[in-house]
Amino acid sequence: MLNDVTFGQYYPASSFVHSMDPRTKLLALIAFIVAIFMAETFYGMLLCAVVLTAAVLAARVPFGSVLRSVKGILIILILTSAINLFFHGGEHLLTPESWAVKIYREAVVFTVFLMLRLSLLVMASALLTLTTTPVRLTDGIESLLTPLKWVRFPVHELALIMSIALRFIPTLIEETNRIISAQKARGADFESGNLFKRVKAVVPILVPLLISAFRRAEELGDAMDARCYSGSKNRTKYKKLTFGLRDLAGALVVAALVAGVVLFNVYAADIWPQIYEYIVIK
């Protein structure tokens, strides 16, 4: 049932993206998100999609694993798209004036852009977790947030919490599938009936899942106490994070992406009609 959830799962491989510094990948993800929300033309969105596709190829991660990450927000995509499609105003009406529901061309364009932005955002985030182990991701977050230690912000504890949360996503998914299989073997039905019956049928899943999660949390706490874990005080790193040529190349690609999106926003309206006229008409 939850086998399509890929966020938080690590895909082991030997690739260009896997060997990059986690700090570079985190900053690249932030820059990529900025780029997709800055893009005002379809050419800019296409450029973002091309860069993401190249990153997936360089990571040697199956495209299916990245695409399946969008299923987690499918309901959100449908709801937000419907709301913006029917309630977003504009100047160019596509439906007849007599219709109660009016759809404008600007609303369609805005909805398409919104779906593309959210889909690319989720796929890029999934690629980060697929190519970075929770431990390295924790080290990267802690390193980037090091300046906050000057104001006594618990950077290490925050990074540890995020790492544990990412680490237990696959475990909880596996536990949920096991509980669902056990309930189905006892005659439970999760697929028929109306919405209220389906919601009620989820209760026998949530109760044992919460009990299992609390039990695992208690066992993890006992294990950390047994190993004398004391937070970030006097802790050292076994593996030091270092920037390399791969990180420089990745940073240059992301910088070129942001610059390309800005150029498309400024010059696309003037350049592309002339190119289209020259190629198609002449």
Where residue 27 falls among pLDDT bands split at 50, 70, 90? Answer: very high
The owner of tokens 């820059």 is 31
The owner of tokens 């609390």 is 214
pLDDT higher than 70, residue 227: yes
Instruction: Between 265 and 26, name the one with better pLDDT.
Output: 26
Beta-bridge partner residues of 104: 93
Mean pLDDT within 222-242: 76
The three-class DSSP label of residue 132 is coil
Indicate whether this model's pTM tops 0.85: no
Where residue 155 falls among pLDDT bands split at 50, 70, 90? Answer: confident
CA distance 55 to 63: 11
CA distance 123 to 63: 10
Nearest to 182 by CA among 216, 218, 207: 207
Rounded to the nearest angstrom, the gap between the alpha carbon of residue 10 and the centroid of all alpha carbons in its chain is 13
The percent of residues in the chain predicted with pLDDT above 90, rounded, is: 15
pLDDT in tens, 74-125: 788 888 888 877 777 777 777 777 677 777 777 888 888 888 899 999 999 8
Phi and psi angles of residue 266, each rounded to the nearest 5 degrees, phi first: -90, -45
13-22, 73-82, 150-159, 232-241: range with lowest mean pLDDT: 232-241
The three-class DSSP label of residue 129 is helix
The owner of tokens 């977050």 is 141
The owner of tokens 């033309």 is 41
Phi and psi angles of residue 93, each rounded to the nearest 5 degrees, phi first: -80, 130
Burial profile 29-65: b = 16 or more Cβ within 10 angstroms, e = fewer: beebbebbeebbbebbbebbeebbeebbebbebeeeb
CA distance 170 to 12: 14
pLDDT in tens, 162-202: 778 877 877 888 888 888 888 888 777 777 766 677 777 77
CA distance 207 to 213: 10
Mean pLDDT within 31-39: 92
- pLDDT value of position 159: 80
